[in-house]
Amino acid sequence: MRRFAELYTQLDSTTATNDKLAALQSYFDDVAQKHPQDAAWALYFLAGGKPRQVVKTSLLKLWAQEAAGVPEWLFEESYQAVGDLAETIAHIVPCSVPSKAHTQDDTGLGEWVARLQALKALDEHAQGEQIKAWWGEMDALSRILLIKLIGGGFRVGVSKLLVTRALAAHAQIDAKIMAQRLMGYTEGKAVSGEALTLKFIALCAMNMPGNEQNRSDSGQPYPFFLAHGLPPAAALDASTLLAELGAVSDWQAEWKYDGIRAQIVKRGGQVHVWSRGEELMNGRFPEIESLAVHLPDGTVLDGEILVVKDGAPQPFNFLQQRIGRKTLSKKVLQDAPVSFMAYDFLETQSQDIRAQAQHLRRSQLEALLANKQGWLLSPIVQADDWQQLKEQRSQSRERGVEGLMLKKKDAAYGQGRTKADGLWWKWKIDPLTVDCVLIYAQAGHGRRASVYTDYTFAVWNRPPRDEQEAQAVIDAVEKRLPAQPEALQLVTFAKAYSGLTDEEFKQIDAIIRKTTLEKFGPVRSVKPSVVFELGFEGINRSPRHKSGIAVRFPRMLRIRFDKPLHEANTLQDLQKLLG
């Protein structure tokens, strides 16, 4: 456990890629041969596997207060200052064992995972006593890691690509082969330590059992090829595109749909539907599985799962009705019918064709789906030059898409976000924007724990008549007077925590501290005084929100110190964006 805690600390304390890579490889070199189960679980967590929550974080807080003998208010103040629950508990809970004894405890990560799984069978009181006993016996680093595993909040700043490279270097296997082997490693709700260890040993074997490519009876997908983002449209005129990308005829242009990226794998008479996050989604989209049953064995398609009604793709919020549901009622299936928009062909007749050029894979995909009912084929967007393509891209929002995908016609299908095998670019439309007013703030986490970075924004419920009317509302807010029905007021509609630089966050943090009106736990209400330009990818009606509006992927574009509050946008402005 301590060795994995040391690795976690090393990864968390640096942003240097080479340092992280060295730390990962060193861990696998040290642990894989002697303690393969520890290495297997470490890889599971590092590659994105989520530890299942053993107890609620509210109980962890309570037990920490009892162990440390501190009141709730002091614990909460400490938590807000530190910004991380595990670190807070690790610092305040006393240690009952001399520090030298810590070095004698060599219990491995695999054994600790087994202990946590057994902990679920205990009642709440027994769980609390056991966890408090463990806390007292561990050093600070191991304690932090244990709390994150117990609470299901384990996260670490390392990409799966980097983990793959480190494991490949340890096993002396080509990184591309290792990336393919790793697909689906973290899949499974009931993960067994023994099964995971066997998987890990097979991953590191020079010759993995069966064909190195996906076996004919395997449901394993391929690593997804990811696109790079082009700069905003304002910075790209036709001449710039020509200079940077070459002739438009060298590129295959397609619409960029807003759905769930997925691979359909048909092998051995079985259909497997995988998300880009390597989650097996069988049972969630029966319409797609029914279609895929009729595909030839040894077929793998890449594409997008979309809700399609009346022949048109619907916004992502329609698809959200299907995500996470254990049972699909007739009403849900009727209200949100899904289709698969195919846009790439990865395997045919059990042969991996990813190395073929984009235009060749496309031709085979068209032939496969010709005259097959129910399938959607991503349409090619035709253009004679970049200016014409840019004009078509300007119609994206009306079409219900996010922009264009540009795929080099001679590109192979790569792995991850790389330029080594070919090029895909995503050319998204500029975000929708509104000017809104900051009214609530909350401190961030981790390195931003002492700075207010998470903001709630509001717009006017109608246009103010003038600056004086708006000021009267601000004065009423400052006096904590309730808003009057039908009167002018600020209505919350979005939260955002990204988009500003560290210096800008510090600047706003100072304003928040000077204009705080009330505190609600970690949240502060502030006197309305600053306007922000907020950008977002999409907007939809939402009865769950007071404003009746929900925005997708909001982020702060800039601080508008130049704009007075009464000129911020209104609910009517947001409603116009709904179209």
User: d(Cα 489, Cα 235) in Å, to the nearest integer?
Assistant: 37
Q: Is the pLDDT reported for residue 104 higher than 60?
A: no
Q: What pLDDT, in 10s, does the model give residues 271-307?
A: 999 998 888 888 889 999 999 999 999 999 999 999 9
* Residue linked to tokens 């994206």: 396
User: d(Cα 265, Cα 214) in Å, to the nearest integer?
Assistant: 10
With cut-offs at 50, 70 and 90, classify the pLDDT of residue 566.
very high
pTM: 0.73
Per the CB < 8 A criterion, the answer to whether 150 and 116 are in contact is yes
With cut-offs at 50, 70 and 90, classify the pLDDT of residue 207.
low
- Among 141-150, 348-357, 544-553, which range has the highest average pLDDT? 348-357
The mean per-residue pLDDT over the stretch 412-425 comes to 81
Domain boundaries, given as residue ranges, for the chain: 2-151, 228-428, 432-577
With cut-offs at 50, 70 and 90, classify the pLDDT of residue 103.
very low
Per the CB < 8 A criterion, the answer to whether 304 and 262 are in contact is yes
- Angle between helix 124-137 and helix 140-151 axes, rounded to 10 deg: 160
Q: What pLDDT, in 10s, does the model give residues 127-184?
A: 999 999 998 888 888 888 889 888 887 888 888 889 999 999 999 988 888 888 888 8
Q: Is the pLDDT reported for residue 102 higher than 50?
A: no
370 burial via Cβ count (<10 Å: 0-12, 13-18, 19+): exposed
Structure tokens at 307: 């809700």
- Between 1-5, 54-58, 311-315, 356-360, the lowest mean confidence (pLDDT) is in 311-315
Half-sphere exposure of 443 (CA within 13 A, CB side): 21
The mean per-residue pLDDT over the stretch 541-552 comes to 85
Give CATH for domain 228-428. Answer: 3.30.470.30
Helix (H) or strand (E) holding 78: helix 72-82
Superfamily of domain 2-151: DNA ligase, ATP-dependent, N-terminal domain (1.10.3260.10)
Q: Is the pLDDT reported for residue 269 higher than 60?
A: yes
Hey, what CATH topology would domain 432-577 get? Answer: OB fold (Dihydrolipoamide Acetyltransferase, E2P) (2.40.50)
Q: Is the pLDDT reported for residue 80 higher than 50?
A: yes
Structure tokens at 134: 């463990």
Per the CB < 8 A criterion, the answer to whether 457 and 571 are in contact is no
Centre a 10 Å sphere on the Cβ of residue 558 and count the other Cβ atoms it contains. Answer: 16
User: d(Cα 316, Cα 306) in Å, to the nearest integer?
Assistant: 8
Predicted confidence at residue 324, as pLDDT, reads 66
- For residue 500, what are the contacts with CB-CB under 8 A and spacing of at least 6? 453, 508, 556, 559
User: d(Cα 182, Cα 185) in Å, to the nearest integer?
Assistant: 5
User: d(Cα 67, Cα 60) in Å, to the nearest integer?
Assistant: 10
The mean per-residue pLDDT over the stretch 306-319 comes to 85
With cut-offs at 50, 70 and 90, classify the pLDDT of residue 208.
low
Strands 376-377 and 403-408, by their bridges, are unpaired
With cut-offs at 50, 70 and 90, classify the pLDDT of residue 210.
very low
* Residue linked to tokens 């943090």: 509
With cut-offs at 50, 70 and 90, classify the pLDDT of residue 540.
confident
**What is the three-class DSSP state of 143?**
helix
**b/e code 457-480 from CB counts within 10 Å (16+ = b):** bbbbbebbeeeeebeebbebbeee
Per the CB < 8 A criterion, the answer to whether 38 and 3 are in contact is yes
Amino acid (1-letter code) at residue 437 = V
User: Checking phi first, is residue 446 left (phi over 0); if not, alpha (psi -120 to 50) or beta?
Assistant: left
**What is the three-class DSSP state of 358?**
helix
- For residue 380, what are the contacts with CB-CB under 8 A and spacing of at least 6? 252, 253, 254, 362
Predicted confidence at residue 214, as pLDDT, reads 53
The mean per-residue pLDDT over the stretch 484-496 comes to 91
- For residue 61, what are the contacts with CB-CB under 8 A and spacing of at least 6? 72, 75, 79, 85, 89
User: d(Cα 60, Cα 124) in Å, to the nearest integer?
Assistant: 11
**Average pLDDT of every residue of the chain:** 87
Q: Is the pLDDT reported for residue 17 higher than 70?
A: yes
Q: What pLDDT, in 10s, does the model give residues 34-49?
A: 999 999 999 999 988 8
The mean per-residue pLDDT over the stretch 481-508 comes to 91
User: d(Cα 573, Cα 575) in Å, to the nearest integer?
Assistant: 5
User: d(Cα 498, Cα 495) in Å, to the nearest integer?
Assistant: 10
Per the CB < 8 A criterion, the answer to whether 265 and 221 are in contact is yes
Note whether 2-151 and 432-577 share their fold.
no
Per the CB < 8 A criterion, the answer to whether 498 and 408 are in contact is no
**Percent share of the chain, pLDDT over 70:** 93
Q: Is the pLDDT reported for residue 190 higher than 80?
A: no
User: d(Cα 167, Cα 545) in Å, to the nearest integer?
Assistant: 45
The mean per-residue pLDDT over the stretch 371-382 comes to 92
With cut-offs at 50, 70 and 90, classify the pLDDT of residue 335.
confident
383 closest CA partner among 427, 420, 346: 427
User: d(Cα 531, Cα 512) in Å, to the nearest integer?
Assistant: 13
Amino acid (1-letter code) at residue 420 = A
- Among 88-102, 126-140, 419-433, which range has the highest average pLDDT? 126-140
Q: Is the pLDDT reported for residue 234 higher than 70?
A: no
Half-sphere exposure of 302 (CA within 13 A, CB side): 21
With cut-offs at 50, 70 and 90, classify the pLDDT of residue 233.
low
Predicted confidence at residue 97, as pLDDT, reads 44
Per the CB < 8 A criterion, the answer to whether 488 and 470 are in contact is yes
Predicted confidence at residue 264, as pLDDT, reads 96
